[in-house]
Chain A
Amino acid sequence: MIMGVFRFSRKQLCIPYALFLVCFVVLPLAVIVYYAFTDGTGSFTLANLLSFFTNGNTIGTLCYSIVVALVVTAVCLVIAYPTAYVLARSGLKRGPVLLMLFILPMWINFTLRITALKEVLTLIEGNLSLHPFLNTVIAMTYDFLPFMILPLYTTLLQLDVSLLEAAQDLGAGPAAVFFRVTLPLSMPGIVSGVTMTFLPAMTNYVILDMIYNSTYIMGSLIGSYFNIYDWNNGSMISLILFAGICVVSVFTGKVDQSDLDNRGAIL
């Protein structure tokens, strides 16, 4: 602990990054808070908060975004779970190579992939704005699927086979083994897959806009206030989104943690 003022220590390496985080992560959020609770002249006001909750358009958009995100997440999960399960657990010789096949699309720029999907959907359906909800769900599922498959695969791969065998030996049928052992043990993968899908589905307005020129989604509200230089209302919406994200991540963090604890108890 006797360290000269100018002696190099490993801890000091953190200083640049800590400063960077303060300047470009914490400070921007503080500025957002300031703008969210002031008006154009800089005096304190709750009008932005009130207008968020009284404006039918914003509330409608929020509800619609949540519904879209829930459906997209559910569809992704339903498609990704069996895929990840087969890849990780059915003893395919080329499991890891096949996995690459399923996560490779995430390295292709998403706007280009959405362009491709749009062309194909247009060929099949004609006018895409005739089925807005369906096309939104297809497009987002198409974009987010790899991000759901990967965490599920990692979790399922690490799953301890002896636990499954033990359950079988103790008389559990295949369904019981799956629902009472495999599924609970794959919770961390499900949680991280869901967080990687739900939030982008609520905020990624580019996909919707590209598919059928719609802006009816949370993220695009920020964009539209930005375009008319209304920093105050834009900040309020950003702040509300961020608050929601914090609440969700505290909750999912807990699930993750408790699951780790469970695992520790089992082992």
Chain B
Amino acid sequence: MKKIISYSWLTVVALFMYIPVLILAFYSFTSSTTIGAVRGFSMQNYITLFTMEELRNMIIGTLLLAVGAAVIASILGTMGAIGAFYSRPIPRRIVDTANQIPVVNADVVTAFSICILLIVVLGIEKNTFIPLVIGHVVLCTPFVYLAVLPKLKQMDNGLYEAALDLGATPFQALYKVVIPQIIPGILSGFMLSITLSLDDYFISTYTKPATFDTISTYVYNATKGAQTEIKTALWALSTVIFLVVILAVVIMNLAAAGPSGKQEVSAYDSRGKD
């Protein structure tokens, strides 16, 4: 009995979370322009999605930005975490606190402040993409930092010393001993950065060049009266992303049945917890 109640509750919540996306997925394969009106099967939305230059550029741009920002954030955040971890308590505290600011701050405030500094005060052109990339790095790096720190805590500190005693230079010891130990933290920080950057609306909208769009800003603007063709092509985009995410989750679960899933969980959790 208890089990039936549990499962029905889970089912209701899951339906709430998935019905909109699934309905949209269903209608993305038809030629109807509003949901509710069933028309014939059609792949037109997918053809539009992959052939219309505007859409293609937007998707590629968003992905490039996410990967670029995640790479920079991973390097910067990992170095920061290693450096801070082995620093004395006071500098460590200061970096921890500063790192916490973008984590707790509202994205719109972070975006506004970066925009004011870089574009209004320093006069950097949005067209250079510099404000956009810096903004996304600010958004992502703190989470890399937070994902790497616990791995450093878990690591046996004697390993680094041992490497030095055995004749490694500090740089070699770091590169060959420390980094391999904390690589799971770096990877989950990297993945987290990608998803944060892909999901971002606020930083992008305040710092992006006028002619460039990320998925978020594009979809938002499209709800403000775009052509029907684009509107329904975005249904297809939603479906493609949904399928890619499912595929990624399945692969992740198969690749490392258990542990990798847990890491992901702890990394996401740090967003609010610390």
0 or 1 for each of B230-247: is its CB under 8 Å from A? (1 = yes): 000011011001100110
Return 14 A-B CB contacts under 8 Å, by A number. Answer: A10-B170, A14-B82, A14-B84, A18-B95, A24-B137, A28-B114, A96-B258, A105-B21, A192-B269, A203-B107, A210-B220, A219-B202, A222-B112, A245-B105
The answer to whether A226 touches B2, judged by C-beta atoms less than 8 angstroms apart, is no
The answer to whether B108 touches A142, judged by C-beta atoms less than 8 angstroms apart, is no
The answer to whether A32 touches B113, judged by C-beta atoms less than 8 angstroms apart, is yes
Q: What's the nearest-Cβ distance from chain A to residue B233, in Å?
A: 12
The answer to whether A15 touches B83, judged by C-beta atoms less than 8 angstroms apart, is yes
**Residue of A192, A209, A238 contacting most chain B CB atoms (<10 Å):** A238
A29–B115 Cα distance when bound, in Å, is 11
Q: Which residues of A contact B (CB under 8 A)?
A: 7-18, 20-22, 24-29, 31-32, 35, 79, 82-83, 86-87, 90, 92, 96-113, 115-120, 123, 142, 145-147, 150-151, 153-154, 188, 192-193, 195-196, 199-200, 202-206, 209-210, 219, 222-223, 226, 231, 234-235, 238, 241-242, 245-246, 249, 256
A100–B260 Cα distance when bound, in Å, is 12
Partner of B117, one of A27, A79, A242: A27
B106 at interface (Cβ–Cβ under 8 A)?
A: yes
The answer to whether B199 touches A109, judged by C-beta atoms less than 8 angstroms apart, is yes
**Residue of B86, B104, B248, B253 contacting most chain A CB atoms (<10 Å):** B104
Closest to B62 in A: A109
Q: Which 3 A-B pairs have the closest CB atoms?
A: A14-B83, A17-B80, A28-B113
Partner of A24, one of B106, B114, B273: B114
A210–B226 Cα distance when bound, in Å, is 13
Q: Which residues of B contact A (CB under 8 A)?
A: 2-3, 6, 9-10, 13-14, 16-21, 23-24, 27, 34-36, 76-77, 79-80, 82-84, 86-87, 91, 94-95, 98-102, 104-110, 112-117, 120-121, 134, 137-138, 141, 145, 160, 169-171, 174, 195, 198-199, 201-202, 206, 215-216, 219-220, 223, 234-235, 237-238, 241-242, 245-246, 248-249, 253, 258, 261-262, 265-266, 268-269, 271-273
Contacts of B170 in A (CB 8 A): 7-10
The answer to whether B112 touches A238, judged by C-beta atoms less than 8 angstroms apart, is yes
A231–B121 Cα distance when bound, in Å, is 11
